[in-house]
Chain A
Amino acid sequence: MAIPLLEIKHLTHSYPDGNSGIFDISFSVSKQDFIILAGQNGSGKTTLIRHLNGLLRPSKGEIRLHGKNILKDLTLTRKTIGMVFQDADTQIVGDTVFDEVAFGPENLNLERSLINRKVTQILDQLDLIGLKDRNPATLSGGEKRKLAIAGILAMDPEIIIFDEPFANLDYPGTQSLLTLIFDLNKRGQTIIMATHDVETLLNCASRLLIMADGQLVEDGSIAGLLGKLESHGIKEPCTCKITASPPPWRS
């Protein structure tokens, strides 16, 4: 039997202050999966995805990447599993767009010439090359989100985790970002996306995980779980209520 790309086994996390964490979560992720991790605010989505990147240590259970515990080699874990945070402003540390994308490869101690080549290629791929000397603080919300993704892509991850990527984005920004994420998935990236807005991703995702009160309560296909969304406090896409096949958000 093939080893899954990522395997989460009985993952439990409780915060020291007694705040709710996550309890006994198990699922696996295969290559090129596009997974929506949906749930109400406070359902444990962010806690779970922070474990996937090794930012939090579980109280119980483990996460295996290519069959190996992710905590054994955190640098490899963070290189392989990239994470795009909800607030792009706090993720951006570079003084220019170029520096920001180079930050990850510099941390991996790559050769300067390789870093420059990689960064230029990623900026070109994401249509950010014209902004390479700009201060990231002067970019629009959509551009900042794109930049945060570019910073992750420069580290050649196999899995990219997004935490509420469409929060505070306008319609064109959402469309453009969604098109980019969809293309990345088509090119072989595995995507895990924490969101409470399922409608936007209906035509892209292959699987839906629903969390409630720190537990994984549903795991299945989108079509199969659409009817159960509202029972877990997630808004059912209104397009599903009106039409049989919802129109795509991608441009």
Chain B
Amino acid sequence: MAILNPFMFRPGSSSLHCLDTRCKFFLVCMMSLAILNASFPACFICLVILFFFLKQIRLPMGHTVKHLRYFILLLVFIILARGMAIPGESLFAFHGVTISAQGLYQGALVALRFFLVMVTGLLFSATTRSASLKNAAQWYLKPIPFVPEKRVAVMISLALGFLPLILQQAEETRNAIHSRCGNLEKNPVKRFTRLTLPLLKKTFLSADHLILAMEARCYGEDRTDPEFEPSGREAIFIIAGLGFWLCSLFLESCI
């Protein structure tokens, strides 16, 4: 039995699960834009809200952090890089390398924004079925002329549906390498190629098999779409989202 990675859809009955996918789609776009310009206080408000939803959908925190460890490392790297690159009041100096307070502040803000955008995406993918996502994308693209909305929506849903599978296969490949002491290899290029080449091969093979399986069950563009099932709370969520955006703009103007 496989363990679900945090980005995979987890069935449930939380308010995010029940929310109409079109509304969730809109909220994710709006929140991401708001977060990219948010100040520290707005980011902390957003963090609290997102943490509440993470608890509500019962995503195992330890498991999620474990899966995101490389992303978190990247964020730490961003903070340090900013700390070294931006001049200001020196906090730490070693062999000519100086870390400034202003740089650390800027780096932490950028890292927190990235983190929040990622958690927003995680909440979206963990509570949205790929079929509903396809349907929502199709709904948004329909009014745009010359855009084959069904085809584009299928591509989006397949790409998002395939992402967790690739992550799962990467984990399996890594385990297979480690089981033969591949982790003892010190050369990072060799380590990278040993992981990526089999992973790419596996991914293309899985894609081939998936296409065959879908074709065998008459998959095409003209199919019954899942129905939208609004929960009745969409308006509340959109007002709250707009409220957060305005609040973040206000906090930013205050600083």
Contact = CB atoms under 8 A, between A and B. Distances in A.
B11 A133 contact: yes
Range of interface residues on A (Cβ < 8 Å):
35 or more
B9 A115 contact: no
Contact of B218 (A78, A91, A94, A134): A78
Interface string A132-165: 0111011110000000000110010000000000
A130 to B, nearest CB: 13
Contacts of B227: 112
Contacts, number: 86
B19 to A, nearest CB: 16
A69 interface: no
A182 to B, nearest CB: 23
Given A103-B217, A104-B217, A137-B2, A112 B224 contact: yes
Interface string B211-251: 01111111110111111000000000000000000000000
Range of interface residues on B (Cβ < 8 Å):
20 to 34
Interface string A73-91: 0110011001101010011
23 contacts: A53-B216, A75-B218, A82-B216, A83-B216, A85-B209, A90-B206, A90-B209, A91-B209, A91-B213, A93-B213, A94-B131, A95-B11, A95-B129, A99-B131, A104-B218, A106-B223, A106-B225, A108-B223, A112-B227, A135-B4, A135-B8, A139-B1, A155-B217
Given A78-B215, A106-B225, A109-B223, 15 more contacts: A79-B218, A85-B216, A90-B206, A90-B213, A93-B161, A106-B224, A107-B217, A107-B218, A107-B220, A111-B224, A112-B224, A135-B11, A137-B4, A137-B168, A139-B1
Interface of A: 50, 53, 55, 74-75, 78-79, 82-83, 85, 87, 90-91, 93-96, 99, 103-112, 115, 133-135, 137-140, 151-152, 155
